[in-house]
């Protein structure tokens, strides 16, 4: 490992900064030609060519021949030989894990059910065993994992390493998730709220591409949002930015799991929808409700429409505050399509400032149920690239 760092302001420091800028551009776009890299980084074509040659030799980048405007060009990506990363999504009732190479190509993907109130120690133990089994099936080992990105369904403070509101994820309070998991698998682990990771994935690969200011909303058993401001995911002072599920809809409404009354989640979350239908339809799952609604069941269509209206009212307030270009609706309930999105758009148009409502696009997720997992993979790749670059000596 290269432990000698460049002196700030020195020629070596400038070169290291340029290398980092170039790798960040490749990482962000997935791949660029050398000419496109010069434009994206502001470096001269000669500097780009030299840095690319250096990092290809070090095994950080890879090149291939492509064609742009009828001319041959060198296409630059992260090298697949850099190592493996893992993306992990702890849902409220499932664990979803992917092993990918440094370019984001998923090599293995597994999902397992979890108890709805599983504790952190039990969940992390299962994750450690699953990761070991998955890398072994790839004829690899945990030592080859450069980083793990992990999403959890609760606000998370990266400064303390803990869930900010323990009541919103029972059994996880007071646990330094990244530290505990890193010790289990001897690999760096990086944690974020799952809606933030969904926003990251949609920004880079999905429906929020090209938007400097956007909102990703995940609607399922819980409701959360990831905010993109100025092209970056915004987390707030202690990681609670985007908790749209806990916007108050009715101050005299039912008690929410967060301890407040009448939160959006108590009117539009899956638990509320299923309870509303229990008397007429019996015990259903959220998947059942969506299937029946798409088959024209009046009751199921009504509860989804009502949920969309409540979500739209909360989003109208968020749009008035942040004025995003695009709102991306994801999560399991979004598979209902226009049955949900239509009422969301109607409520935003009715409740937001007219100019704000006209300026925002409300669109479905392009990544569907994979958004949070892909965001976790992207988080791991971001940190892995930094590690590899730090260990690559300046020539």
Match 């296409």 to its residue by tokens. Answer: 75
Handedness of CA 24, 72, 203, 142 (dihedral sign): negative
Q: Which of 333, 329, 336, 331 is nearest to 364 (CA)?
A: 329
10 Å CB burial of residue 245 (0-12, 13-18, 19+) is buried
Whole-angstrom Cα distance, residue 170 to residue 122? 12
Each domain of the chain, given as residue ranges in start order, spans 11-78, 83-197+372-389, 208-365
Fold of 83-197+372-389: Nucleotidyltransferase; domain 5 (3.30.420)
- Give tens-digit pLDDT for 102-118: 778 888 899 999 887 78
Strand pairing partners for 113? Answer: 94
In angstroms, the Cα distances linking 192 to 176, 252, 267, 296, 330 are 12, 32, 26, 38, 18
- Give tens-digit pLDDT for 19-34: 888 887 887 776 789 9
232 contacts: CB under 8 Å, gap ≥ 6: none
- Does the structure show a pLDDT above 60 at 6? no
Q: Quick one: what percent of the chain has pLDDT higher than 70?
A: 93
- Give tens-digit pLDDT for 172-186: 988 999 999 999 999
What is the predicted pLDDT for the residue at 395? Answer: 55
- Does the structure show a pLDDT above 50 at 191? yes
Q: Yes or no: say if 116 and 93 are a contact pair by the CB < 8 Å rule.
A: yes
Whole-angstrom Cα distance, residue 370 to residue 330? 10
CATH 3.40.50.300 matches 11-78: no
- Does the structure show a pLDDT above 60 at 5? no
- Does the structure show a pLDDT above 60 at 392? no
- Does the structure show a pLDDT above 80 at 59? no
103 contacts: CB under 8 Å, gap ≥ 6: 30, 31, 77, 78, 79, 80
- Does the structure show a pLDDT above 70 at 229? yes
* pLDDT category of residue 82 using cuts at 50, 70 and 90: low
Instruction: Quote the mean pLDDT of the chain.
Output: 90
- Does the structure show a pLDDT above 80 at 337? yes
* pLDDT category of residue 101 using cuts at 50, 70 and 90: confident
- Does the structure show a pLDDT above 80 at 10? no
Match 């009732």 to its residue by tokens. Answer: 93
Q: Which CATH architecture has domain 208-365?
A: 2-Layer Sandwich (3.30)
- Give tens-digit pLDDT for 67-76: 887 888 889 8
What is the predicted pLDDT for the residue at 270? Answer: 94
- Give tens-digit pLDDT for 84-94: 999 999 988 88
What is the predicted pLDDT for the residue at 388? Answer: 60
Q: Which of 324, 325, 322, 335 is nearest to 366 (CA)?
A: 335
- State pTM to two decimals: 0.81
- Does the structure show a pLDDT above 70 at 387? no
What is the predicted pLDDT for the residue at 70? Answer: 81
For the chain, the three-class secondary structure string (H helix, E strand, C coil) is CCCCCCCCCCHHHHHHHHHHHHHHHHHHHCCEEHHHHHHHHCCCHHHHHHHHHHHHHCCCEEEEEEEECCEEEEEEEECHHHCEEEEEEECCCEEEEEEEECCCCEEEEEEEECCCCCCHHHHHHHHHHHHHHHHHHCCCCHHHEEEEEEEECCCEECCCCEECCHHHCCCCCCCCHHHHHHHHHCCCEEEEEHHHHHHHHHHHHCCCCCCCCEEEEEECCCEEEEEEECCEEECCCCCCCCCHHHCECCCCCCECCCCCECECHHHHCHHHHHHHHHHHHCCCCHHHHHHHHHCCCHHHHHHHHHHHHHHHHHHHHHHHHHCCCEEEEECHHHHHCHHHHHHHHHHHHHHCCHHHHHHCEEEECCCHHHHHHHHHHHHHHHHHHHHHHHCCCCC
* pLDDT category of residue 44 using cuts at 50, 70 and 90: very high
Question: For residues 2 and 339, which has the higher predicted lDDT (pLDDT)?
Answer: 339
What is the predicted pLDDT for the residue at 386? Answer: 63
Q: Yes or no: say if 148 and 99 are a contact pair by the CB < 8 Å rule.
A: no
Span 139-151, mean pLDDT? 90
192 contacts: CB under 8 Å, gap ≥ 6: 149, 150, 151, 152, 156, 158, 235, 375, 376, 379
- Give tens-digit pLDDT for 253-311: 999 988 899 999 999 999 999 999 999 999 999 999 999 999 999 999 999 999 999 99
Let me know if the fold of 11-78 is the same as that of 208-365: no
Q: How many residues does the chain have?
A: 395
10 Å CB burial of residue 163 (0-12, 13-18, 19+) is buried
């Amino acid at each position: 490992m290269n432990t000698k760092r460049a002196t700030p302001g020195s020629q070596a420091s400038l070169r290291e900064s340029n290398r980092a800028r170039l790798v960040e551009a490749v990482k962000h776009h997935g791949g660029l030609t050398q000419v496109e890299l010069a434009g994206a980084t502001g470096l001269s074509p000669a500097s780009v060519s030299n840095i690319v040659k250096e990092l290809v030799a070090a095994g950080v980048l890879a090149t291939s021949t492509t064609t742009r405007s009828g001319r041959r060009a060198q296409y630059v990506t992260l090298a697949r030989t850099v190592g493996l990363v893992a993306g992990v999504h702890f849902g409220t009732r499932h664990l979803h894990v992917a092993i990918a190479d440094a370019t984001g190509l998923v090599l293995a993907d597994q999902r397992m059910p979890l108890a709805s109130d599983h504790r952190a120690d039990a969940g992390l133990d299962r994750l450690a065993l699953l990761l070991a089994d998955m890398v072994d099936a790839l004829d690899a080992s945990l030592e080859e994992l450069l980083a793990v990105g992990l999403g959890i369904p609760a606000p998370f403070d990266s400064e303390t390493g803990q869930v900010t509101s323990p009541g919103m994820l029972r059994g996880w309070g007071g646990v330094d998730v990244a530290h505990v998991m890193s010790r289990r698998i001897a690999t760096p682990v990086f944690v974020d709220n799952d809606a933030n990771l969904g926003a990251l994935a949609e920004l880079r690969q999905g429906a929020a591409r090209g938007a400097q200011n956007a909102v990703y909303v995940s609607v399922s058993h819980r409701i959360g949002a990831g905010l993109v401001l100025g092209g970056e995911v915004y987390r707030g002072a202690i990681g609670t930015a985007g908790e749209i599920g806990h916007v108050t809809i009715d101050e005299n409404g039912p008690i929410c799991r967060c301890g407040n009354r009448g939160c959006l989640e108590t009117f539009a979350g899956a638990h509320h929808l299923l309870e509303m239908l229990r008397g007429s339809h019996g015990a259903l799952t959220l998947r059942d409700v969506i299937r029946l609604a798409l088959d024209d069941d009046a009751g199921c269509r009504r509860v989804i429409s009502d949920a969309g209206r409540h979500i739209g009212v909360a989003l109208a307030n968020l749009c008035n505050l942040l004025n995003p270009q695009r709102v991306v609706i994801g999560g399991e309930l979004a598979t209902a399509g226009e049955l949900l999105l239509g009422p969301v758009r109607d409520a935003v148009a009715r409740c937001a400032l007219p100019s704000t409502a006209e300026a925002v696009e409300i669109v479905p997720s392009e990544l569907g149920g994979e958004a949070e997992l892909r965001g976790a993979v992207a988080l791991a790749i971001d940190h892995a690239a930094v590690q590899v670059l730090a260990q690559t000596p300046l020539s």
